[in-house]
Amino acid sequence: MKIVGLHCSSEDLHAGKIALIKHGSRLKNCDLYFSRKPCSACLKMIVNAGVNRISYWPADPEISLLTEASSSEDAKLDAKAVERLKSNSRAHVCVLLQPLVCYMVQFVEETSYKCDFIQKISRTLPDTNSDFYSECKQERIKEYEMIFLVSNEEMHKQILMTIGLENLCENPYFSNLRQNMKDLILLLATVASSVPNFKHYGFYCRNTEQINEVHNQSLPQEIARHCMIQARLLAYRTEDHKTGVGAVIWAEGKSRSCDGTGAMYFIGCGYNAFPVGSEYADFPHMDDKQKDREIRKFRYIVHAEQNALTFRCQEIKSEERSMIFVTKCPCDECVPLIKGAGIKQIYAGDVDVGKKKADISYMRFGELEGVSKFTWQLNPSRTCVLEQNEPESRENGVLGPVPLDEDQHQNKKLRLANH
């Protein structure tokens, strides 16, 4: 499976139309994933492109049924048109919502709390309330429930009946559906809380000499955190029993496009896994606790950064600002690959920087030149304010104003297309 696009609806276009503009007939035989059931205008174009399957989140559709009464009739007519397109097309249009694997939420919660970003906050701010992670998670749960869940159950049933899912309106199917949706929202909120908008923590660069170059200017912290959360989600696909790592590559074009992501566009993503096509017992899974180095995993597992580069859907352009988001510090094997690929920026944790372990080392990251490094840390300008008691500011991840509160990100509709 290869992800070939990640798109977001804009003021002018829905996500499905943007996917058609960006990929055209290359969408043939792809699977598409929507955060809302697409409208008839999008669906007719997508079906015409020959897609294989369209999966959507079973809440309010793209032409909202929760709006004022004046437009509700049009929304109902559109929902009927969508059902007719669905029944007369070869593409499979469905709700892809399965119950989570037993103990999955517990596992995600434990690993999210232990991830590098949360642990660094705990170590560098020892006086911080020990429940700060739980508080961040509760905030995210409330936020995501407002976005992804129809709070009124009766209204949710009416929506399901209108969009052709009347078979899910009776119990136990309806209650099971709601519970599965809540479980997934909880899982997403838990992962998002592992890269929290907490006090003055974020991804910052300590090299103040780089600030004048466009390629070295940092992304807004909200966007950087959002991309890192994508990488954190990918890390749970890992085939490594000990440590999951995820990586996402984005680039910023010269001008804004029709996409809701603005000038930024998706390049590729990956997680650490064994070579494609291998079976469970084909390669060793042991770590450095195994004395026999011949049966350790490190010579066989493909790193997240390597998979992201290998299975990228677009080329990395030297004239554009490209960036990779990695959930852990890139190792000495990956650092030269990232630089050689022409990536301009690295966003990562720095807990392992300078360490040399039994089978893997992280010495090159700190010495890397020609690539801007933005690591998870307390805003350097905030440190200066605390030390000097002056309103000194820092910009672009180095020297610039420190906002006390960041604006909430807009509710965007996301879409993934993959082969």
Run of H or E residues at 146: helix 132-148
For the chain, the helix, strand and coil percentages under 3-state DSSP, each to the nearest 5: 40, 15, 45
How many domains are contained in the chain? 2
Shared domain check, 262 and 114: no
The answer to the question of residue 4 being in a domain is no
Q: 193, 223, 242: which is the final residue of a domain?
A: 193
Q: 193, 217, 249: which is the final residue of a domain?
A: 193
- How far apart are alpha carbons 42 and 45 in whole angstroms? 5
Shared domain check, 334 and 254: yes
Q: 165, 193, 221: which is the final residue of a domain?
A: 193
Q: What are the φ/ψ torsions at residue 55 (nearest 5 degrees)? A: -110, 145
pLDDT attached to residue 124: 86
Shared domain check, 164 and 290: no
Shared domain check, 239 and 166: no
Shared domain check, 366 and 278: yes
pLDDT attached to residue 389: 45
Shared domain check, 364 and 276: yes
Nearest-CA neighbor of 417 among 35, 34, 156? Answer: 34
Q: Is the peptide bond before 172 cis (omega within 30 degrees of 0)?
A: yes
pLDDT attached to residue 282: 75
Cα angle 33, 34, 40; round to 5: 115
Shared domain check, 152 and 131: yes
**DSSP reduced 3-state for 299:** coil
Shared domain check, 275 and 141: no
The answer to the question of residue 380 being in a domain is yes
What is the DSSP secondary-structure string of 188-253?
HHHHHHTS---TTEEEE---GGGTTSGGGPPPPHHHHHHHHHHHHHHHTT---SS---EEEEEEE-
Nearest-CA neighbor of 347 among 220, 224, 263? Answer: 224
Sheet containing 92-95: order of strands = 3-8, 414-418, 31-34, 53-56, 92-95
The pTM of the full predicted model, rounded to 2 decimals, is: 0.87
Q: Are residues 338 and 324 in contact, defined by beta-carbon separation less than 8 angstroms?
A: yes
The answer to the question of residue 21 being in a domain is no
Shared domain check, 205 and 187: no
Shared domain check, 261 and 186: no
pLDDT attached to residue 82: 96
The answer to the question of residue 174 being in a domain is yes
Q: Which residue is it, tokens 């920026």?
A: 345
pLDDT attached to residue 400: 42
Sheet containing 246-252: order of strands = 201-204, 372-378, 345-348, 321-326, 246-252, 264-271
CATH of the domain at 228: 3.40.140.10
The share of the chain scoring above pLDDT 70, in percent, equals 85
The answer to the question of residue 35 being in a domain is no
Shared domain check, 364 and 320: yes
Question: For 139-177, what is each residue's pLDDT tens digit?
Answer: 999 999 999 999 999 999 999 999 999 999 999 999 999
In tens digits, the chain (419 residues) has pLDDT values of: 789 999 999 999 999 999 999 999 999 999 999 999 999 999 999 999 999 999 999 999 999 988 765 467 889 999 999 999 999 999 999 998 889 998 999 999 999 999 999 999 988 887 777 688 999 999 999 999 999 999 999 999 999 999 999 999 999 999 999 999 999 999 999 999 999 998 889 999 977 655 556 556 889 999 999 999 999 999 999 988 888 999 999 999 987 878 899 999 999 999 999 999 888 877 877 666 665 666 677 788 999 999 999 999 999 999 999 999 999 999 999 999 999 999 999 999 999 999 988 788 999 999 999 999 999 999 887 655 444 444 444 344 444 443 444 444 444 444 445 55
Q: What are the φ/ψ torsions at residue 240 (nearest 5 degrees)? A: -90, 125
| 42 burial type by CB count under 10 A (0-12 exposed, 13-18 middle, 19+ buried) | buried
Domain that holds residue 179: 104-193
The answer to the question of residue 286 being in a domain is yes
| 280 burial type by CB count under 10 A (0-12 exposed, 13-18 middle, 19+ buried) | exposed
- How far apart are alpha carbons 28 and 52 in whole angstroms? 7
The answer to the question of residue 343 being in a domain is yes
Nearest-CA neighbor of 147 among 184, 191, 202? Answer: 184
Shared domain check, 238 and 275: yes
Residues acting as catalytic residues? 305
* β-sheet bridge partners, residue 372: 345
Q: Which residue is it, tokens 């992804």?
A: 148
Q: Are strands 414-418 and 3-8 parallel, antiparallel or unpaired?
A: antiparallel
**DSSP reduced 3-state for 73:** helix
The answer to the question of residue 23 being in a domain is no
Residue 163, CA distances (Å) to 13, 46, 297 in order = 21, 18, 48
- How far apart are alpha carbons 417 and 419 in whole angstroms? 7
Q: Are residues 308 and 249 in contact, defined by beta-carbon separation less than 8 angstroms?
A: yes
pLDDT attached to residue 381: 78
Largest CA distance in the chain: 72
pLDDT attached to residue 407: 43
- How far apart are alpha carbons 312 and 268 in whole angstroms? 4
